Amino acid sequence: MAEVVVVGGASEGGDLVARAIRDLIASRPDAVLGLATGSTPLPVYASLAVSLREDPLDVSRVRGFSLDEYVGLPEGHPESYRSVITRDVVELLGLAPDNVLVPNGDPGALQTAGEDYERAILAAGGVDLQILGIGRTGHLGFNEPGSSFASMTRVKTLTPETRRDNARFFDSPSDVPVHCITQGLGTILRARHLVLLACGEEKAEAVAAAVEGPLTAQRPGSIIALHPHVTVVVDEAAASRLDNLAYYRYAYANKPRWQGI
Ligand code: F6R
């Protein structure tokens, strides 16, 4: 069962996850982080940046793999996930740029980009801690409903709903690419620790489907039931549709603190 941690808000969740990442890097200086984009993980990166400024830690060997990328945005487009990861993670945390990879969304490279990316993740020894957000459709990465549980990095078609949700980052909704390249659900399941964050009422239904099932490809988030180490960090609003919320609170309140998340 996923561990569910209910936090007071996005910044408390960010602090909690940033501490876990910091502990990981302290014990494994070449840790491999799985990086999500979108709004949800920003407080994690911001909190980690503050913590690294106040109490420096060598991050020069930390490696990272982003979950996904839009297909066909021109190089350097400010909303390409390459640009976002460079700005919001690599530069903010002071990581070595060459240590952080993003799937290649160049249309000319797509036939082999997925396999290349999988090979790179395997060569790095796999992802230690994978940060995840969740879409209102229940997508993890950009694995929209119906995605295979066994899928690896490949091209997918974004749903109109996800394109609408992400239009806030673009000048016009029609500028949001139709296609993306995303780690598969099978890729995500190989990471050693999944940390899924969600805030807000609009995520409550997707969170409930992810945490409490049923396990179905129609709700990609439900794959977390197949993973032995998952932490779901949610605010009250995102937790509001969970049937067993009282039990999750009780379990977390009674957890030995040395276990971390
Ligand atoms: C981003 C990603 C997506 C987002 C999801 C939620 O790399 O893979 O699954 O995590 O769309 O987005 P936000 O956080 O913007 O609500």
- Tens of pLDDT, residue by residue over 82-141, are 999 999 999 999 999 999 999 999 999 999 999 999 999 999 999 999 999 999 999 999
H or E element that contains 14: helix 10-27
> Above pLDDT 70, what percent of the chain?
100
Buried b (16+ CB within 10 A) or exposed e, 180-195: bbbbbbbbbbbbbbbb
Q: Looking at residue 135, what is its pLDDT?
A: 95
pLDDT digits (tens, 9 = 90+) for 44-78: 999 999 999 999 999 999 999 999 999 999 999 99
> How far apart are the C-alpha atoms of 19 and 160, rounded to whole Å?
36
Is 40 touching ligand 1 by the criterion CB < 6 Å?
Answer: yes
Burial of 200 (0-12, 13-18, 19+ CB in 10 A): middle
Residue 27 parent element (H or E): helix 10-27
In a domain, 168, yes or no: yes
Which whole number is the average pLDDT over 157-174?
95
Residue 253 in any domain: the answer is no
Å from CA of 142 to ligand 1 middle: 8
**Is residue 37 situated within a structural domain?**
yes
What pLDDT sits at residue 158?
Answer: 97
Question: If 0-12 CB within 10 Å is exposed, 13-18 middle and 19+ buried, where does residue 109 land?
Answer: middle
How does the average pLDDT of the chain come out, rounded?
Answer: 97
What pLDDT is stored for residue 157 in this prediction? 97
* Predicted pLDDT of residue 1: 85
Domain that holds residue 81: 3-242
Cβ(141) to ligand 1 under 6 A? yes
Is residue 252 assigned to a domain?
no
CA distances from 118 to 67, 166, 261 (A): 11, 26, 27
For residue 122, count CB atoms less than 10 angstroms from its CB and return exposed for 0-12, middle for 13-18, buried for 19 or more: exposed
User: Which H or E element spans position 182?
Assistant: strand 179-182
Decide if 196 is inside a domain.
Answer: yes
User: What CA–CA distance (Å, rounded) separates 242 from 225?
Assistant: 15
Compute, in angstroms, the gap from residue 258 CA to the centroid of ligand 1.
30
Ligand 1 mean position, distance from CA 67 (Å): 9
Tell me: pLDDT of 6 over 90: yes
Alpha helices by DSSP H, listed for 28-134, are 42-54, 81-85, 92-93, 110-123
Helix (H, G, I), strand (E, B) or coil at 242: coil
Over range 192-201, report the average pLDDT: 98
Q: Is the Cβ–Cβ distance between 55 and 48 less than 8 Å?
A: no
Report the CATH number that the domain containing residue 100 is assigned in CATH.
3.40.50.1360
Q: How many domains does the chain divide into?
A: 1
Q: Establish if 230 belongs to a structural domain.
A: yes
Does the pLDDT at position 175 exceed 90?
A: yes
Closest among 163, 165, 240, 251 to 198, alpha carbons compared: 240
Position 255 in a domain: no
pTM listed for this prediction:
0.98
Structure confidence at residue 17 as a pLDDT band (50, 70, 90): very high
